[in-house]
Chain A
């Protein structure tokens, strides 16, 4: 298993600003992912955070809007840029300690409200 800490746990932001969310894992992990959960909705994968290289983004998500870093095997950041009210969501960091077919472990999420 893995213990995941996300910061901030919640924030209220102004339109047009940017916010960086941090994800710290207590052990080295193979894969790190960022998901978005809009109010009352399911989880949507934003991107896979790749160590030392550019993240792999899903359709509908772009690097300019959601830049991601992963400098090592235990840490990643997601930035939500130029925010609008439509970006109000819970952003979840998740990790896998194995390879294909293994379960994901989730942080408690970062709840962003954009005014």
Chain B
């Protein structure tokens, strides 16, 4: 079945460092891909999404490109802030079903 493999971390960075969180997927057909963020004590919020190959999702300085050839959707940010400290989940939604599958989550801590 469909699945997502995500770099688990935890990841600790200094403020203004470059961030990459790797995500690869296995799916039949052409799924939609998502990054969700969970701040401490809160629910999940959609960070960005891409619905077809070569699409780039972006939001709040974060970017991810849907790479069909490498089945990847890596999350990047050029300069992280302390306020970016959270858990990040990669997820996919298949074309043949309505539910969503999540990666293991990556805890990011940004230090001043």
Contacts and interface: CB of A to CB of B under 8 A. Distances in A.
Interface of A: 30-31, 33, 41-43, 45, 48, 92, 94, 96, 99-109
Given A106-B44, A108-B42, A99 B89 contact: no
A100 B103 contact: no
Contacts of B36: 106
* Secondary structure dominating the interface of A: loop
- Interface residue tally on B, bucketed by range: 20 to 34
B40 interface: no
Interface string B77-107: 0000000000001000111111111111100
B46 interface: yes
A70 to B, nearest CB: 14
Interface in B1-57: 31-32, 34, 36, 42-46, 49, 51
A103 B46 contact: yes
Interface of B: 31-32, 34, 36, 42-46, 49, 51, 89, 93-105
A42 B103 contact: yes
Contacts of B42: 108
Contact of A101 (B32, B101, B103): B32
Contacts of A42: 89, 102-105
B98 A100 contact: yes
B11 to A, nearest CB: 15
B99 A45 contact: yes
